[in-house]
């Protein structure tokens, strides 16, 4: 009986082929392509008896190259490509023939070391297309005085070029010429965390985040993936935990640049493996950018203050037609936290993975994620009024219903953000609410996850 079972398992393993999978896993945390998770602003019905008069957006930059440390790890693992191919031909590999052929064809992109964290062509297209869809939805907004339009990125190449791409898509084929504002060395609207000592020391450099990441790589599910990948590849090199994650980085970056969203580097992983690997970004971003610290929610208020003030200025007879900012996933997730969105009943932990979690970086921290607020002027029986619609990734958000918030409802939700201050960033500041999460919210039981 045991020989028959072994034969069946061998046949199943031999038939397992990433190339031939009918439906490839699509969620890759903060490296998920925007088209995987977006809606379409053009598909939403316009409000009856209303016309959009002002629009405010906050955008993450588009698809980019990996940063310095990730590139180095990827480059190291790229060197084992020939070992992976040889392992197949000597009978040690569990990969299929087509996956091996695709490894043979695959080549390292030699420009990655020279363009670390730069926006890619795919990223440019993502932002261009968002601008284009907004133009097609609200064509009457794409006209007027250039001073009525404002675009500003942070001081990084990936956001600067993303801003240019959005402005290009928004104005392409029109006579409107807009000017993009220069990035600021210090930008307390769309990157306040960079100059917040409390965030840099207590959150980004704090023990809680380090603990969560360390225990993730020691957990039983991750160790099981590490062992399984070693067995599937059948190579002589003993893969470390960081080696396996670098293979995952090769998988999710290179697939995001391919037309068919596939990469041979994804072939060592099952869909179940990719689900566990996706969770790394969720835990990391929850504690670094989200509800893991009250500091993050406070920092997320500053773009929302700008949103309210811009729409209020228009209602009062001033303001601009379009205001768009281009920032990073850190800022986007802080804003979601300030809005109270995607909040779990219990804090995310590296040791307890909830498959039904709502804090899902693949959806809220993917490339080019965005918030779009649309102010409309409406003619109702009582006279003129204003309504505000708020979309996240071009989908209706829970902040306002599809028919929009009334101006009073919008004020009730957003006006309090105008009281935001960076005083809490001082290490001498004492937070008075008593709601700070514990510095170690993870379970004391180490080495396994609950499913």
Catalytic amino acids? 61, 329
Strand 395-396 with 370-380, pairing: unpaired
Q: From CA 437, how far away is CA 292, in angstroms rounded?
A: 7
CB proximity list for 35: less than 8 A, separation 6 or greater: 126
Closest by alpha carbon to 370, among 341, 327, 407, 424? 327
Strand 149-153 with 370-380, pairing: unpaired
Euclidean distance between the first and the last CA atom of the chain, given in angstroms as a whole number: 32
Output the CA angle 55-121-290, nearest 5 degrees: 55
Residue 264, judged by CB atoms within 10 A of its CB (0-12, 13-18, 19+), counts as buried
> Count of CB atoms within 10 A of residue 119's CB?
25
CB proximity list for 394: less than 8 A, separation 6 or greater: 38, 39, 40, 41, 130, 133, 370, 372
Radius of gyration of the chain (CA): 24
Four-CA torsion 375, 380, 383, 389, nearest 10 degrees: -10
Four-CA torsion 336, 150, 119, 69, nearest 10 degrees: -50
């Amino acid at each position: 009986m045991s020989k028959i079972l072994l034969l069946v398992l061998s046949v199943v393993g031999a038939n397992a082929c990433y190339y031939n999978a009918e439906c490839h896993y699509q969620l890759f945390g903060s490296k998920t392509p925007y088209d995987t998770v977006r809606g379409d602003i053009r598909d939403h019905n316009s409000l009856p008896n209303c016309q959009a008069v002002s629009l405010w957006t906050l955008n993450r930059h588009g698809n980019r190259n990996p940063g310095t440390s990730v590139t180095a790890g990827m480059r190291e693992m790229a060197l084992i490509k020939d070992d992976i191919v040889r392992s197949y031909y000597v009978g040690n590999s569990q990969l299929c023939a087509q996956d091996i052929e695709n490894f043979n064809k695959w080549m390292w992109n030699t420009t990655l070391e020279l363009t670390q964290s730069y926006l890619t062509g795919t990223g440019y297209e993502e932002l261009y297309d968002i601008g284009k869809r907004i133009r097609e939805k609200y064509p009457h907004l794409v006209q007027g005085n250039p001073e009525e339009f404002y675009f500003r990125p942070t001081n990084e190449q990936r956001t600067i070029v993303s801003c240019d791409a959005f402005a290009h898509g928004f104005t392409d084929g029109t006579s409107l010429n807009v000017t993009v504002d220069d990035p600021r060395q210090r930008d307390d609207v769309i990157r306040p965390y960079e100059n917040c000592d409390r965030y840099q020391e207590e959150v980004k450099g704090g023990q809680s985040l380090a603990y969560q990441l360390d225990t993730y790589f020691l957990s039983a599910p991750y160790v099981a993936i590490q062992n399984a990948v070693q067995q599937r590849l059948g190579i002589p090199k003993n893969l470390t935990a960081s080696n396996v994650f670098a293979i995952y980085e090769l998988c999710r970056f290179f697939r995001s640049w391919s037309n068919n969203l596939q990469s041979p580097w994804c072939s060592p992983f099952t869909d179940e493996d990719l689900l566990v690997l996706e969770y790394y970004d969720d835990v990391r971003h929850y504690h670094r950018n989200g509800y893991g610290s009250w500091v993050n929610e406070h920092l997320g208020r500053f773009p929302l203050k700008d949103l309210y003030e811009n729409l209020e200025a228009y209602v009062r007879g001033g303001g601009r037609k379009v205001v768009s900012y281009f920032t990073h996933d850190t800022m986007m997730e802080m804003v979601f936290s300030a809005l109270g969105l995607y909040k779990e009943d219990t804090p995310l932990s590296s040791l307890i993975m909830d498959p039904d979690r709502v804090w899902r970086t693949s959806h809220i921290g993917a490339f080019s994620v965005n918030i779009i607020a649309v102010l409309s002027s409406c003619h109702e029986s009582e006279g003129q009024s204003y309504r505000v619609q708020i979309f996240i990734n071009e989908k209706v958000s829970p902040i306002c219903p599809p028919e929009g918030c009334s101006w009073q409802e919008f004020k009730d939700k957003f006006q309090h953000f105008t009281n935001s201050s960076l005083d809490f960033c001082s290490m001498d500041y004492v937070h008075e609410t008593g709601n700070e999460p514990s510095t170690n919210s993870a379970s004391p039981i180490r080495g396994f996850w609950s499913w």
